[in-house]
Amino acid sequence: MKSFAALKRNIKKPASGLKRIRVGVLGDSSTQLFTQALKGYGYEAGLDLDLHEAPHDQIELQVFEPESGLYKAKPEFIILFCSVQKLREKFYRTDLAEKKNFAESHIRWIESLYAVLLKKIPVQIICLNFPELNDSVYGNFSNKTELSFVYQLRKINYRLMQLSSELKSLSICDVCSLQGYYGKKFIFDSTTYFRSDMVFSIAFLPFIAKNICDIVLSVCGVFKKCLIMDLDDMIWGGLIGDDGMENIQIGDLGAGKSFSEMQMWIKQLKQRGIILAVCSKNNELTAKEPFEKHPDMILHLDDIAVFVANWRSKAENIQYIRRTLGIGFDSMVFLDDNPFERNCIRDLIPQITVPELPENPGDHLDFLQTLNLFEMASLSLEDGTRTQYYLEETRRSVVSGKYPDEHEFLKSLHMVSHIEPANKFNLPRLSQLSQRSNQFNLRTIRYTEEEIGTISQAADTVILSFTLNDKYGESGIICLVILKKKNPDTLFIDTWLMSCRVLNRRMDCFTLNAIAKVARVNGIKNLTGEYIPTHQNSLVRDHFFNLGFVQTDGSWTLDMQTFEERPCLITALNTNWDKNQALIFSLRGQGVFL
């Protein structure tokens, strides 16, 4: 980690090419050095943070005063930085009889700040939780009485988690965990605190700054989707090719245990939606053997979406993995115990994250967990089954080789799609698609769950969600379309994005037919669309052209009066979907559909 001084030097560098984000900082203690660290770390994270730092200890004034500097700064993120020292002071000033309600009243206060802020501006609030602080007033007995600070402090941290799981725009920056790892002696310095009212040590500032930037990035849709791992001395000890399956280290004891724990962690990542891939220099059969036969293996072949074991260069193989999965290098993490392989990949594919690893395998897991590689901003029920999709996809592509005629192949898939307006069930996945899709994304406008919820209520907007299932399995929700009525005759395609795992299935034609249906039930004459190029979406450069749209100064138009349904081999699962009143403008307005 770079030092605070190094981060401060970053600030003098030009911020060109960094993503500009407006951030408000509200603190009840001194935040100046904290703000500098944040700004400086932004450069490391590709963020040009435009920070508005509220004056010292003015949280309420800034939030409740409608004309405050905070609102003028129009922040996209607000950091709510309450210190445990101020909290303790407040607790001590609370009457004994009221102390047991202390946590609840703090939570109500946070709720009220949230409500006022969100009513005024669409913003993501990052609230720091509290580091543990045992004031030794009750000793261990503090765990037995609601009257102790320790009790109320832990309750607040717990209630903050509850609150943030209910409130979409509230993220928690887990200072408590950071202190758990680095220790109070490291994160706090009494001289700094008593001289400047700054509750974190200078040495700790880069770490908290990183943590906050991690959250900002994930909310902005920058996060990891895939873990590519080496095998020998990474997920088991020893070399499978040399030592043989009986002699690799894995299991309950000694060195083997560290590898087992690594596998358990990786398995948990997979369950929460990280795609796993293997990239190993080995013969394929040898490399797969433990996965199939070793009784202590925790990872199995069906946990691995792409398994590559051969003698080609790892850079080549990782490129193959990327092509197979259809995701960007910047969403991948590559784990390898070999410094040579790590450096090779860093040189050849700089976008990929390659953590440096401690030499001792026993330290690998602990170290990796401090890096917070897999920050995330939203969770959907489908995350856990993502690997399954990719495995099915691999099967589909094998079958596809058997059909010389694409039409016959698509027909054999028996594809069905479920079309729906946005509702509270599909909202998490739709926003996740909006955050994640880079390649098949015409305008790459990112929407949070909160925002999609809001626009789905707008009188001039309809949102369509599509699933795609076939005889091999369910792909779940894979396409999002947002349509805005520009005028009585024109419907603008604000958003059209699709998961790349359903490419080449004529889902684009099916989607267009559905959009046309919505246009027709609303008496719309023209569809218009726009392609905004990014460095990742050249795939859809000719999308509108291919679908028969005509280009006129930058935008694409399709005449609905002459439009004919495009042939595709997908059937709508719910036949009356287009009768849903959420899709018909004249029936909207007063209704609440979510």
Partner 1 sequence: MLSKRIYLKEMDRDSVLKQINEIFIDVIDNKELLITDETTARDVDGWNSLTHIELVDAIENHFRIRFTLNEIGQWKNVGQIIESVLSKKK
- Please work out, in degrees rounded to the nearest 5, the angle formed at the alpha carbon of residue 73 by the alpha carbons of 67 and 75: 115
Residue with Cβ nearer partner 1 (11 or 509): 11
b/e per residue 267-276 (b: at least 16 CB within 10 A): eebbeebbbb
Residue with Cβ nearer partner 1 (191 or 586): 191
Residue with Cβ nearer partner 1 (201 or 465): 201
Q: Indicate the DSSP class of residue 500.
A: G
CA 235 to chain centre: 25
- Residues with Cβ within 8 Å of residue 50, at least 6 apart in sequence: 20, 21, 22, 23, 73
- Residues with Cβ within 8 Å of residue 586, at least 6 apart in sequence: 522
Residue with Cβ nearer partner 1 (3 or 388): 3
Residue with Cβ nearer partner 1 (9 or 312): 9
Question: For binding to partner 1 (CB under 8 A), which residues are involved?
Answer: 3-5, 8-9, 12, 32-33, 189, 191-192, 194-196, 198, 201-203
Residue with Cβ nearer partner 1 (5 or 445): 5
Q: What is the layout of strands, in order, in the sheet containing 77-81? A: 47-53, 19-27, 77-81, 124-128, 170-173
CB of 128 to partner 1, least distance (A): 20
CB of 366 to partner 1, least distance (A): 25
CB of 15 to partner 1, least distance (A): 17
CB of 194 to partner 1, least distance (A): 6
Here the tokens at position 98 are: 């009221």
CB of 193 to partner 1, least distance (A): 10
CB of 359 to partner 1, least distance (A): 21
Cα(288)–Cα(301) distance, integer angstroms: 8
CB of 8 to partner 1, least distance (A): 7
Residue with Cβ nearer partner 1 (85 or 372): 85
Phi first, then psi: give them for residue 363, nearest 5 degrees: -95, -10
Q: Is the dihedral of CA 68, 70, 72, 74 positive or negative?
A: negative
Kind of pairing between the strands at 226-229 and 124-128: unpaired
- Residues with Cβ within 8 Å of residue 321, at least 6 apart in sequence: 226, 228, 277, 279, 306, 308, 332
Residue with Cβ nearer partner 1 (41 or 390): 41
Q: Indicate the DSSP class of residue 97.
A: G
Closest CA to 190 of 180, 181, 199: 199
Residue with Cβ nearer partner 1 (31 or 444): 31
- Residues with Cβ within 8 Å of residue 570, at least 6 apart in sequence: 415, 416, 417, 468, 505, 506, 507, 510
CB of 556 to partner 1, least distance (A): 51
Cα(438)–Cα(539) distance, integer angstroms: 10
Residue with Cβ nearer partner 1 (54 or 113): 54
CB of 509 to partner 1, least distance (A): 59
CB of 394 to partner 1, least distance (A): 49
Q: Are 374 and 274 in contact (CB under 8 A)?
A: yes
Here the tokens at position 92 are: 């001590």
CB of 33 to partner 1, least distance (A): 6
- SS3 for 537? coil
Residue with Cβ nearer partner 1 (40 or 529): 40
> 185: exposed, middle or buried (C-beta count within 10 Å: 0-12, 13-18, 19+)?
exposed
